[in-house]
Each structure stands twice: as C-alpha cells, then as structure tokens.
Amino acid sequence: MQNIYKETGVLDKRAIERYFLSEEILCENASIALKELLSKITHKKSLVYIICGGGNNGADGLALARKISSDYLLKVYMADEPKTPLAKQEYLRCKSAGVEFVRKIYKCDVLIDCLFGSGFRGEISPQTRELIEAMNQSGRKKIACDMPSGVGRFFKGVAFRADYTLCMGALKLDLFSEWAKDYVGEILTAPLGISKENYEIPSNIKLLEAKDLSLPYRSKQDTHKGEYGTLNILTTENEGSKGGASVLSALSSIAFGVGKVSIVGGREVLPYEVMRSEEIGSSVVLFGMGAGVVGEREFSKLHSKTCVLDADVFYSQALKDFLAQNSELVLTPHIKEFASLLRICGIADLSVEEVKAKRDELLLEFCSLYPEVVVVLKGANTLIAKGSKLYICTLGSNNLAKGGSGDILAGMIGSLLAQGEDRLKASTNAILAHALASQKIKTSYGLNPMDLIEAVKYL
C-alpha cells in the first residue's frame, strides 16, 4: 500500500524545516526526475515542448528546460508571466542559458505540462481551455508535472490528457477521482531530495496495490467443506426482483473458496453447485442483488447477521433504521446507489454528479456516522472505507462496466467473510481479486460474468 494525501504542501514545508532544504532544492529534484522520465520515453534530439505557468509548477518546467536545452530540440511556451520568486528566478536562468521561448505550439515528440500542478483551485479561462486542448493535440507522448492541468475533484470539462503523471513527493488524492482516471495515465512519484520514508507522514488514505492481495489459499490437506464456511443469499419474489443476480453471487462465492452456499427463497432453477434453503442458517448473509422492492420484512430476517448489502437495498426507506441497529455490515453501492443512501440517511440530498465530485469526503462523512460499517463504493476507482480509513483501488478494467459485475463482487466479499476474514480485509481482498481478474479478460467490451468468475479461480 502507498500513502495518499489530500495535499502535500505541509509535507514540503516539513521537509524544508526538518531537513534544512529549500524550495529551490525541491524544484531542482523535481526537474531531475522529469529529465530522467523524459530520457526513458524518447531519444536525444527529439522535439520537446514544455508548457509553463507562472507558479512553482512552471518553475519545475523551467528548471527542466535549463537542464535539457542542449540534449533535445527544446521549445518553452510561457502561458503566463512568472509570478512566484522561484518561477522568476528559473525564468532568468533559462534566459541566460539561451533556452528558446515560443508563442505557438506545434506537433512534437513529447509535450510536458507544467501549467498548474496540484495547487490550482481557480476557474479555467477560455484561453487556458483552448491551450489545454491544443496541448492534447500536439504531443505524441505527454507528461504531466505533479498533476494534469484541469484535473481535480470539480472537473471543468477539459484537462490535460497525460500518458505519464510524475507526482512530486507523494501521491495526491485528486489523482484518484473518477474523472481523473481518463487523464492521469501511468502515475509515478518523484523524490524531492530526501527518502520517501523521511518525506512522508502516516496517512489514513491508502492506495491498494496488486501485491496487497491475500488469496484464500488452502494449505491443510486433511480438511472438509465445513472448515470454509457457509454463506446464505437471501432472495425475494417482490416487485422487480431478478433471481439471476443471486445466482451470480453464489457462483462467485464458490469460486472464491466458500465451503457451501445456499440461496434462501426464490423459485429460479439453480446450478447444481448451489443449494436452496427455506430459512437463513448462516451467520453471513448477502442481500439486495436483484431483490426488487425491499421493505422492513426482509430486513427483519437479517438482524444479528453479518451482511453484505447491495443494489436495491439502497433505495429502501427501511435501511436507515436497520443501519441504526446493526453494524456488522458491508455496503457495496455504486455512485447512484450511494447518492440514494445519503438521502435516506439524511446526510446529503445531492445529484449523482455532485456526489461524484465529493465522493471521498461524503463517504468519510457517512463512515463517521456509522463507524463500524464497511462501505465499498464501486466506480472507475473503487473506494473502501471504515471509520476514518479510506482505501483506493485503481486496478479494475473498464470491462467491468457490465451487468453482473457487482453481483460477482458481493459474492466474493461474502465468501471471504464466511471463511473467517474480518469485513475490512474481506472487502479489500475481494476488490483486488475482482479487479485483477478483470485484467485477464483482454478486451474492453467482451467481459461475460461467467468469464470473470472463471478468471477469479486462477489468480
């Protein structure tokens, strides 16, 4: 796992004060990291444009220009006059070094975005919008310094579309918004003159990595199905119910190691691997996928159980009272369902787009009111939260945008719960396995739910 920060200015200040550094030293190290990345993705004498703003992000670009002016066919475009002391100083150094400044951008081998960085909070002017659009059209390969210009939680409809984002010092939360995934490219981190361990401080926000996955391997040979738990999936015959969703959850739970799974209720024909029960007999229950209209009667069956709640549950007015009385829960909404959950709980009455823009802070607000509940907020970058802890998984493929994917994930979480994992660990492991399984399906469009279940078996 890696630390993620809402902002890193405090880390820069701490590095300067504690390790006797300076803004200039941080800038020099940022430009060195940019130079190293550039050398890896193109050859000497390539045509390189650096687009600089008037702040310290622009200063990083100017420091880079000073270093590489003799190695590449270099052009620097100043989008604004240097404003900060560091930008003014680096501009004068570039002038003295004979760096070429231009007023137009043309097609090039590499274009480096040093406009805004992570400190930008203003509006994007029409002129800047046109500039960013031109930047996106000009570079064969594109690098963003610290943050692609225009990326942030309140997306304005235009942003630099990077192939690489070189994040200065540490990872920033805005890089992992839903919208950002289409703009950040490969995210790398640049050291700023001290080690990662000395630069960073503990953070309650973490980036999940493939190496964090712990699969439910079986090492014991003398064993039986009873040692791997029992899972129940509650179904309904209510208005709008769809029994196939529960079947997908059941099959994925089997693929992920549960000893026995049964569907409670319903009339659909079941695969031979899945049993049917008339009553809930397990301490772990899945409910909501394909449930249709949900009322108090269904929730009354779930008291004192460890539950994974999904899909139609999040539109039920009865959910608020159930949350007040039960905490052994994993909730797995997508963004529209989460917006409904926030309304039902009286936290916020916002549109889906407004919730999307502030999903991390709204999720943590929800978890502050229900600190024992684990929430898996599904999306392009999936969030997992409990209390003040927030985990982000960026590994899922866009082929997961297909009916049934969420049902499979719920079954995987339930499977690990039935096998004895705690709710937070079960959620993070299931999310990672689900995401990595999606990568095994090589097209962006061709995911079949049964293929995804098959991929889970062979991670």
Q: Which of 335, 231, 339, 342 is nearest to 287 (CA)?
A: 231
Domain at 2-203, CATH class: alpha beta
Instruction: Return the closest-CA partner of residue 405 out of 375, 374, 382.
Output: 382
Q: What is the pLDDT of residues 132-189, one digit of tens each?
A: 999 999 999 999 999 999 887 666 778 999 999 999 999 999 999 988 999 999 999 9
Structure tokens given for 141: 């390969």
DSSP reduced 3-state for 200: coil
pTM strictly above 0.95:
no
What whole-number distance in Å separates Cα of residue 177 and Cα of residue 165?
A: 14
Per-residue confidence (pLDDT) for residue 120, from 0 to 100: 64
Instruction: Give the domain 211-457 fold.
Output: UDP-N-acetylmuramoyl-L-alanine:D-glutamate ligase (3.40.1190)
pLDDT in tens, the chain (459 residues): 999 999 899 999 999 999 999 999 999 999 999 999 999 999 999 999 999 999 999 999 999 999 999 999 999 999 999 999 999 999 999 999 999 999 999 999 999 999 987 756 667 888 889 999 999 999 999 999 999 998 876 667 789 999 999 999 999 999 999 889 999 999 999 999 999 999 999 999 999 999 999 999 998 899 999 999 999 999 987 777 787 899 999 999 999 999 999 999 888 888 988 999 989 999 999 999 988 888 898 999 999 999 999 999 999 999 999 999 999 999 999 999 999 999 999 999 999 999 998 999 999 999 999 999 999 999 999 999 999 999 999 999 999 999 999 999 999 999 999 999 999 999 999 999 999 999 999 899 989 999 999 999 999
Q: Return the bridge partners of 50, or none.
A: 76, 112
Closest CA to 173 of 16, 431, 383, 453: 383
* pLDDT at residue 153, rounded to an integer: 67
Q: Judge contact between 377 and 415, C-beta under 8 A.
A: no
Q: Helix, strand, or coil here: 24?
A: helix
Closest listed residue to residue 331, CA positions, set 392, 293, 377, 291: 377
Give residues with Cβ within 8 angstroms of 38, minimum separation 6: 48, 64, 68, 72, 110, 112, 143
- Distances from the Cα of 15 to the Cα of 64, 167, 269, 411, angstroms: 21, 16, 63, 45
Domain ranges of the chain: 2-203, 211-457
Q: Tokens in use for 113?
A: 């975005």
Residue 158: what pLDDT? Answer: 87
Quote the pLDDT of residue 122.
67
Report the distance separating Cα 58 and Cα 79, nearest Å. 9
Token duo for residue 55: 């702040």
Per-residue pLDDT of 403-446, as tens digits, reads 999 999 999 999 999 999 999 999 999 999 999 999 999 899 98
